[in-house]
Structure 1
Amino acid sequence: MNYTDLKDKSLTELNELLKEKKVLLFELKAKLKTMQLTNTSELRTAKKDIARIQTAITAAKAN
């Protein structure tokens, strides 16, 4: 997911996407704790996606 994909979305779409990514991060953390997560780089990717979405939300609120 790139920032350029996010900057064209509306604020409601960004908030929905943020909720989805936070749920995904929660599930990944739970899998990590129970030793079911095989690809730990998914955690980093989810965190970075959340940060990108939050940046896009901040930029959308400023405009």
Structure 2
Amino acid sequence: MNYTEIKEKNREELITLLKDKKMLLFELKVKQKTMQLTKTSDLRVCKKDIAKIKTAISAIG
């Protein structure tokens, strides 16, 4: 997910997107603990997406 895509959304959309990404991160962590996650780079990507979304929310105000 690019920052330009995130920047075009309004605050409510960003908050819902943030909730979805946090839920996805939780699911990925559970899969990793139970040895079901084969692509561990998804964790890093998800964390970076969450950081981008939080940055966009704080930039909006």
Alignment of 1:27-46 (within 5 A): 27-46=27-46
Q: Which runs of 4+ in 1 moved over 6 A?
A: none
CA distance in 2, matches of 1:60, 1:8: 11
The alignment status of 1:5 with 2:5, answered yes or no, reads yes
| SS of equivalent to 1:35 | coil
Give the letter for the 2:9 counterpart. Answer: K
Q: TM-score, normalised by structure 1?
A: 0.95
Alignment of 1:15-34 (within 5 A): 15-34=15-34
* Unmatched 5+ stretches in structure 2: none
Residue number in structure 1 paired with 2:49: 49
Q: Percent same amino acid among aligned pairs?
A: 66
Cα-Cα RMSD: 0.4
- Aligned residues between the structures: 61
* Unmatched 5+ stretches in structure 1: none
Q: CA deviation at 1:8?
A: 1.1
